[in-house]
């Protein structure tokens, strides 16, 4: 499967687009709102596919990134403040501010690493046709804005919902959330539904 980047930009946001961005640590690859809007127009619209055959095991995740550090620990280190790790790379202390609800945590057990585009959603919008290696890359992507350290209970509420079904409780983060969602779906050539497109368009209008 050929994966192509569609209309993404890593340039800094224009001054008039900064107002609604929450001041949280975040992944790389978040496009400007104007670029996300352009990408959104290019995403293929299709009804949500079947979940037949889906399993999280088909998206090998939290793979080893370096030494004893897996993907989860890398994101915890990246998105936290003053994070201390054990010899096994486990986060033993630090502070994390969740961009989804603005809550601050000092125990890594309270943090989950959210897949911006959930694995099940990806399966239903094109990933069912990928190889296991491609799904592994998607589930551990540290380059695109796919992985976020967030409040565990909030991530549980999101589950595998798309933006027309669930939005972060913190409304000031809706702009960045939509930018990131569109960036990931655009890079991986995943489809969106009409309702999903409408919700994303509304969220980008808040930027």
Answer whether residue 2 is part of any domain: no
Range of the domain at 164: 19-204
Answer whether residue 177 is part of any domain: yes
CA-nearest of 144, 130, 136, 183 to 6 is 183
Using the structure block, give the residue that is written with the tokens 């486990």. 90
Answer whether residue 10 is part of any domain: no
Answer whether residue 79 is part of any domain: yes
Tokens of 106: 């000092």
Answer whether residue 4 is part of any domain: no
Give whole-number Cα distances, 163 to 67, 167, 193, in Å: 36, 6, 10
Task: Render pLDDT for 50-103 as a digit per residue (tens, 0 to 9).
Answer: 999 999 999 999 999 999 999 999 999 999 999 999 999 999 999 999 999 999
Question: Cα–Cα distance between 113 and 86 in angstroms, integer?
Answer: 19
Answer whether residue 14 is part of any domain: no
How many domains are contained in the chain?
1
Answer whether residue 77 is part of any domain: yes
Q: What is the mean pLDDT of the chain?
A: 90
Question: Cα–Cα distance between 160 and 59 in angstroms, integer?
Answer: 14
Question: Cα–Cα distance between 95 and 129 in angstroms, integer?
Answer: 39
Task: Render pLDDT for 172-198 as a digit per residue (tens, 0 to 9).
Answer: 999 999 999 999 999 999 999 999 999
Tokens of 80: 């936290």
């Amino acid at each position: 499967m050929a994966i192509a980047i569609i209309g993404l930009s890593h340039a800094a946001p224009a001054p008039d687009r900064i107002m609604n961005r929450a001041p949280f640590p975040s992944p790389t690859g978040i496009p400007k709102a104007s670029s996300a809007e352009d990408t959104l127009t290019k995403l293929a619209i299709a009804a949500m596919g079947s979940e037949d055959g889906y399993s999280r095991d088909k998206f090998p995740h939290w793979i080893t990134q370096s030494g004893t550090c897996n993907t989860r620990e890398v994101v915890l280190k990246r998105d936290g403040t003053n994070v201390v790790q054990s010899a096994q790379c486990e986060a033993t202390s630090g502070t994390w501010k969740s961009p989804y609800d603005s809550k601050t945590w000092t125990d890594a057990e309270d943090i989950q690493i959210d897949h911006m585009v959930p694995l099940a959603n990806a399966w239903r919008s094109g990933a069912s046709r990928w190889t296991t290696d491609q799904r592994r890359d998607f589930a551990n992507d540290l380059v695109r804005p796919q992985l976020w350290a967030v409040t565990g209970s909030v991530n549980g509420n999101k589950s595998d919902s798309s933006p027309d079904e669930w939005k972060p409780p913190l409304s000031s983060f809706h702009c960045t959330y939509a930018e990131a969602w569109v960036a990931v779906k655009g890079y991986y050539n995943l489809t969106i539904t009409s309702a999903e497109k409408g919700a994303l368009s509304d969220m980008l209008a808040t930027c």
